[in-house]
Chains A and B, each alone.
Chain A
Amino acid sequence: MATGDVKLLGAGASPYVNRVQIALNIKSENYEFLEEKLGSKSELLLKSNPIHKKIPVLIHDDKPICESLVIVQYIDDVWTSGPSILPSDPYDRAIARFWAAYVDDKWFPLMKELRMAEGEEAKAAAIEKIVEVLVVLEEAFVKCSKGKAFFGGDSIGFLDIAFGSFLGWLKVTEKMGEMRLLSEAKTPNLVEWAERFCCDDAVKDVLPKTEKLIEIFKIMQARAKAPPSN
């Protein structure tokens, strides 16, 4: 398949954008990264994703594709000569899709809850729920990996990308809250997986460093607290 013209509208700090970057790296696909500025939406973004007005948007030969996991599957469907992102067996694909949806529908909202939690009690309650969910994902990892390094087996795949893209922000939450969400005690396999994932060639230049994300977090917090301006 001809590579054609590939652009990615996004921001380096967004885990959803990181998913797409990792997928493109797996396929060794070159692309032009058009970085959206924090706090504003470009004309191109509004035109390419009029429904949600959100990043990431992949623009392939002038055709926009939106929604991170839809984009990742598109990349897998188009660039067939590179390593596969989704498993080849239909049942394993179903399991990968199931858990990817779980990450977005169950895990991520809890992280949001923790960020918004006010007071020690609310925070502790949110942390407990997050750890419970991580224990479920630990079990999923054991089943999916079948003793290998990643959810996807020997190399990173769909579920690794879906969940691993959040590791940068997970570390920020741990550092700023001075606690561990992933721990050797409760989620030993995930702890090791996380390290392997972050060092993977397709990932290491994509996930921003914790310090950088903390800076961005502080900027976002300040903006949220500042009086609204037109």
Chain B
Amino acid sequence: MAANDVKLLGAWPSPFVMRVRMALKIKAVDYEFLEEKMGSNNDILHKSELLLKSNPVYKKIPVLIHGDKPICESLVIVQYIDEVWTSGSSILPSDPFDRAIARFWAAYIEDKWVPSLRSIGMAESEEAKKAAMEQVEEGLGLLEDAFVKCSKGKNFFSGDQVGYLDITLGCYLGWLKVTEKMNNVKLLDGAKTPGLDKWAERFCSDVAVKDVMPETEKLIEFAKVLFAKLRAASPN
């Protein structure tokens, strides 16, 4: 498929965008990466005409544009990529029950775990921060059990190769490290969640991931700018 047939609207720091880039890498699909620029003043993102036209409902990245047809929502896009490019390795498991388990945990990560991670950064008091961190750690405990069950002794949630659930959770490893560094705390702890700890290392060095996951230092710099904008935006 010609490279200009596949475009991705996104931004390098976004974990949601990373998911799509990892999926495209797994399938060895060439694409044009159209980066949305950081906004001026207090806007986090300057939203391009193309973004507003392609995702009028949410006006958010990522958006995959395949032959002029836009697809939105990162996990919807990842499943689309898996279903269209069938010659590459599978992203979702082939067994229906394993697929259901992968989708269940992906929904848990989206609906419960990611919001708790985000609320650390948004916390307005030390107490609130501590509570959020506890929630994140609790979640990682559940995900450790999930990892043991899903991986069945292999390297990734999906087995021998990076798959749907690896991507869904793994895209947050960069931001998790940022949170740990900026708060001087360990959230992903090898003592408490040894399976996940080793998985995280393997994930970040995987060929589908390493060029897509930004370096922690770069993300920290970006985080500082981002939080400054968010603070300036709220009157308190």
Contact = CB atoms under 8 A, between A and B. Distances in A.
Q: Which of A63, A73, A91 has the most B CB atoms < 10 Å from its CB? A: A91
Contacts of A65: 97, 100-101, 104
Given A73-B99, A74-B97, A78-B96, A90 B80 contact: yes
Contact of A101 (B76, B96, B97, B99): B76
A51 B113 CA distance: 12
Interface string B48-91: 00000000010000000010010111001101100110000000
Contacts of A60: 97
B129 interface: no
Contacts of B84: 90
Contacts of B96: 74, 77-78
Contacts of B79: 93-94, 97
A73 B57 contact: no
A94 B100 contact: no
Interface of A: prevailing SS: helix
Chain B: interface size category: 20 to 34
Contacts of B57: 102, 136
Interface of B: 57, 66, 69, 71-73, 76-77, 79-80, 83-84, 96-97, 99-101, 103-104, 107-108, 142
A67 B103 contact: yes
Contact of B100 (A71, A90, A102): A71
11 contacts: A60-B97, A63-B97, A66-B104, A70-B100, A73-B100, A74-B99, A78-B96, A91-B69, A93-B80, A94-B79, A101-B76
A176 to B, nearest CB: 29
A90 B85 CA distance: 10
B107 A67 contact: yes
Contacts of A136: 57
A136 B58 CA distance: 12
A98 interface: yes
**Of residues A74, A78, A93, A98, which shows the largest number of chain B Cβ atoms within 10 Å of its Cβ?**
A98
Contacts of A67: 103-104, 107
Contacts of A74: 96-97, 99-100
Nearest to B71: A94
A99 B80 CA distance: 14
B73 A101 contact: yes
A3 to B, nearest CB: 14
Interface string A2-46: 000000000000000000000000000000000000000000000
A106 B107 CA distance: 16
Given A70-B107, A77-B96, A51 B142 contact: yes
A94 B104 contact: no
